[in-house]
């Protein structure tokens, strides 16, 4: 059996059973991009400006909507317009971690109403399989998709071994799950997408334990599908457009090398 990581994004999109995964693969092919921007900024103006500048070069915009100090409904409307303008999906990095009934309320309601506008969200499976079922009750009718946090990119993270294996087991049993946050391909039983944070053009780290790996390590060697980059693109003194182009090109080159 040929590994899913040896197939093109177009081939995987054509055969994938989940409509949102098919849409994501199609975006990646159209834009020749497997880059997701981690837009960890604190104001509406910053988020919209960053999304508009980098939008042409990414396949996914990853947000932390609860850190936006001046959040309002207009921000959501403008983000949706930018996603349409620049052809990217929105991933709200909410990391849900409560029981099923509670996450239903958090995902579908509250101030942010995440399920109404975020194509993708994610969760920890610490509470058990009920968290996936609760999120699916809200998101599946809206055509949304879920990522499980099989691993994280910070030093000393506890998502390893049997816990990671349990993520894979739950993903295979739930159609609402389209993939994982992690550093590698986790299974060949089903085509589950891996998105990887902590990617930099040079392997390094920061003072708070973040560990950076290169696109070649993550995509070519480990079989991950999408690289997530934040401060490497918009950190102090950065030309955000030039850096987004560099990371897009590096991520795509790593993908093409994987296919050889």
User: Which are the catalytic amino acids?
Assistant: 95
Strand partners, 152: none
- 58 Cβ contact partners less than 8 Å away, ≥ 6 residues apart: 31, 33, 35, 36, 37, 86, 88, 244, 248
Rounded Cα distance, 209 and 55, in Å? 28
At 154, is the pLDDT very low, low, confident or very high (cuts 50, 70, 90)? low
pLDDT digit string, tens, across residues 73-109: 999 999 999 999 999 999 999 999 999 999 999 999 9
In the predicted model, what is the mean pLDDT of the chain?
95
Region of 213 on the Ramachandran plot (φ > 0 left; ψ -120 to 50 alpha; else beta): beta
| Helix/strand/coil for 163 | helix
Neighbours of 144 (CB within 10 A): 23
Q: Mean pLDDT over residues 228-242, rounded? A: 95
């Amino acid at each position: 059996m040929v590994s899913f990581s040896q197939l093109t994004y177009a081939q995987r999109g054509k055969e994938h059973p989940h409509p949102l995964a098919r849409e994501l693969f199609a975006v990646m092919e159209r834009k020749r991009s497997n880059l997701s921007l981690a837009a960890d900024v604190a104001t509406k103006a910053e988020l919209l400006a960053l999304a508009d500048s980098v939008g042409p070069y990414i396949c996914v915009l990853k947000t932390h909507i609860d850190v936006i100090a001046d959040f309002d409904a207009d921000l959501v409307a403008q983000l949706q317009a930018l996603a349409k303008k620049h052809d990217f999906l929105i991933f709200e990095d909410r990391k849900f971690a409560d029981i099923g009934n509670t996450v239903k309320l958090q995902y579908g309601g509250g101030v942010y109403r995440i399920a109404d506008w975020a194509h993708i969200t994610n969760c920890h499976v610490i509470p058990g399989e009920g968290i996936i079922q609760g999120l699916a009750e809200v998101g599946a009718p809206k055509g949304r998709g879920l990522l499980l946090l099989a691993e994280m990119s910070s030093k000393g993270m506890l998502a390893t071994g049997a816990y990671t294996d349990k993520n894979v087991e739950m993903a295979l049993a739930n159609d609402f799950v389209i993939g994982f946050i992690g550093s590698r391909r986790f299974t060949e039983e089903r085509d589950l997408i891996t998105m990887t944070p902590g990617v930099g053009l040079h392997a390094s780290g920061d003072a708070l334990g973040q560990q950076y790996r290169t696109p070649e390590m993550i995509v070519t060697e480990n079989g991950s599908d999408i690289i997530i980059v934040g401060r490497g693109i918009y950190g102090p003194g950065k030309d955000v457009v030039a850096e987004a182009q560099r990371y897009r090109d590096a991520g795509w080159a790593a993908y093409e090398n994987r296919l050889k």
